[in-house]
Chains A and B, each alone.
Chain A
Amino acid sequence: MKASKKRKTFNGISTVILALLGFAYIIPILVVLINSFKKKAFISLQPFNLPTAKNFIGLENYRVAIDQYGFLKAVGWTFFITIGSVFLILLCTSMCAWFITRVKKKVTQAIYFLCVFSMVVPFQMVMFTLSLVADRLKLNTPWGIIIVYLGFGAGLAVFMFSGFVKSIPIEIEEAALIDGSSPLKMFFSVVLPIMKPTYISVGILETMWIWNDFLLPYLVLDINKYKTIPIIIQYMKGSYGRVDMGAIMAALIMAVIPVIIFYLSSQKYIIKGVAAGAVKG
């Protein structure tokens, strides 16, 4: 009896603390949201005050960010690059991972080792040379960068897929092969459906990375023509001349909205993906 009462007070206290912490967690986003409705001159001075009749300008900042800076175009390119890269990574690396796990040769083991190795190499190590190679091969377009992402993102994906393939009983595949289907057809009709959870986990992890990635597209893309969301925000803030704080606030909010929608619609898979990806340590 006594213990359960103690337990109740303890739970009560932790709930209050968690609630306060949770509220503190969303304050930064709320502050930016409030400021996105203010005139730009009033933002840096008093960021924590609510808009007043004097400085409220409705959606004007959003209009400027979209019309003058072309924000929606950046959103479009970010969508294109993220979806294209993730699709290609999932397709190619799952095939590669299945093959190198099933065919045990020195070469395939070397490939596996290289993939694991590439996971620990920081981007700065290959930053300069990768942008040179990409430029030389004319991969500086949103179409070309997809190939760069496949190359640089292959390590984690191959590693995670291989881990899963090892747990698939080989008999299922052998049975399909004996029934006369080609390995390629067997891969798509037998292996791919079994690996669905891994596809989702890898897809989530790669999406989170590519959507937010700044430096790789900044160095590889021809940024006069193509900008992604992180690039355009850095450009708005860092470009010489006048910095329009109002438009930046609007851009930050517009950058966060798709992320929140994605999160709320597939939270279950994201949490699972993160927990699965953690095994890579």
Chain B
Amino acid sequence: MEKAIKRYWPIFLIPTMAAFLIGFIVPFAMGLWLSLCEFTTVTDAVFVGLKNYIRAFQDPVFLHAFWYTALFALVSLFIINIFAFAIALALTQNVPGTNLFRTVFFLPNLIGGIVLGYIWQLIFNGVLAKYNAALALNEWYGFWGLIISVSWQQIGYMMIIYIAGLQSIPEDLQEAARIDGANARQRLFHVTIPMMMPSITICTFLTITNGFKLFDQNLSLTAGEPSKMSEMLALNIYNTFYGRVGWEGVGQAKAVVFFVLVVAIGMIQLRLTRTREVQQ
């Protein structure tokens, strides 16, 4: 069959590949190269070696964004997954109104980051105004504001994945544990959670990488206020490119560091949880 279809390759491959070249491969390769150059537009790029990387790591705002983002990703990882898992467990116990609850919890996921950030900005500033405070006054208000709004958005998504995982656990496994005298807690920790490791792998992977890549909510909810103290990595890179003339190369170097970081964390995370998956 291969022979018969092989000569049709232009029709099947060219449209996607041409767009993929424009939309990904060329920008990616150019990005790698430009991180080693000084430039304002591409035509005036001059090779400067690792200078941009050195400048990136000397930028205190970038270093602040670095650990602020890491902390955010870690806290959101735990909060989102614990809530999502608990809700998924509750919704698979035949409680009345399961479908309605599932609908409500998933809804915020479809609302985009910009819209979502401004919705929550109104709420947080309304609450904080009672105490004569505002989101833009303290980086930790912004931090917890981001945690709450991102949790609001992502818990429903992870819940769906956990529900699918819970429904695929064979009923007789739970039954066998029950007959052997295991109580509800023992069943949770020794049957349900080990069987759920594939879902947990996916959800923790998604939440931690989403946490590192967060941009829209950061821009709309706090925009980095007060004075860039709540600026996360993605927003910092954006502001380096478009906010400071002469720093384009540094912005690109930061973007490469960011890319390597996200890939490395994703890999480490996958390795950590994959080893705990049990064979069925």
A residues near B (Cβ < 8 Å) are: 10-11, 14-15, 17-19, 21-22, 25-29, 31-32, 35, 43-48, 92-93, 95-96, 98-100, 102-104, 111, 114-115, 118, 120-130, 132-134, 137, 139, 147-155, 158, 170, 173-174, 177, 182-184, 187, 208, 211-215, 229-230, 233-234, 237-238, 248-249, 252, 255-256, 259-260, 262-264, 267, 270-271, 274-275, 278-279, 281
Contact = CB atoms under 8 A, between A and B. Distances in A.
B115 A233 contact: yes
A128 B152 contact: no
Report, nearest first, the 8 A-B pairs whose CB atoms are least far apart: A151-B23, A212-B112, A281-B202, A47-B126, A151-B19, A99-B12, A126-B27, A96-B16
28 contacts: A11-B94, A18-B91, A25-B152, A26-B107, A31-B126, A44-B122, A44-B126, A96-B15, A99-B13, A102-B1, A122-B255, A122-B262, A125-B259, A127-B237, A128-B31, A128-B241, A128-B248, A128-B251, A151-B20, A184-B8, A184-B11, A214-B219, A252-B118, A255-B111, A259-B111, A260-B107, A263-B103, A279-B202
B23 A18 contact: no
B62 interface: no
B29 to A, nearest CB: 8
A129 B95 contact: no
Contact of B213 (A19, A122, A256): A122
A256 B153 CA distance: 13
Best-buried of B19, B97, B256 by chain A (most CB within 10 Å): B19
B90 A18 contact: yes
Contacts of B6: 103
Nearest to A93: B16
A256 B108 CA distance: 10
Contacts of A127: 237-238, 241, 255
Interface string B96-119: 110011111111111111110011
Contact of A28 (B23, B105, B120, B125): B120
- Chain A facing B: main interface SS: helix
B161 A274 contact: yes
Interface of B: 1-2, 4-6, 8-9, 11-13, 15-17, 19-28, 30-31, 34, 42, 87, 90-91, 93-97, 100-115, 118-120, 122-123, 125-126, 129, 152, 157, 160-161, 164, 199, 201-203, 205-206, 209, 212-213, 215-216, 219-220, 223, 233-234, 237-238, 241, 248, 251-252, 255-256, 258-259, 262-263, 266, 270
A248 B118 contact: yes
A96 B24 contact: no
A184 B20 CA distance: 22
Contacts of A25: 104-105, 107-108, 152
B199 to A, nearest CB: 8
Nearest to B23: A151
Task: Specify which of B21, B24, B87, B119 lies most central, judged by the most chain A CB atoms within 10 Å of its CB.
Answer: B24
Contacts of A214: 112-114, 215-216, 219
B1 A18 contact: no
A278 B200 CA distance: 11
A66 to B, nearest CB: 17
Contacts of B202: 278-279, 281
Given A22-B101, A147-B23, A151-B23, A15 B95 contact: yes
Nearest to A115: B20
B76 to A, nearest CB: 16
Nearest to A157: B16
Contacts of B11: 95, 184
Contact of A124 (B2, B122, B237): B237
Nearest to B269: A281
A256 B27 CA distance: 33
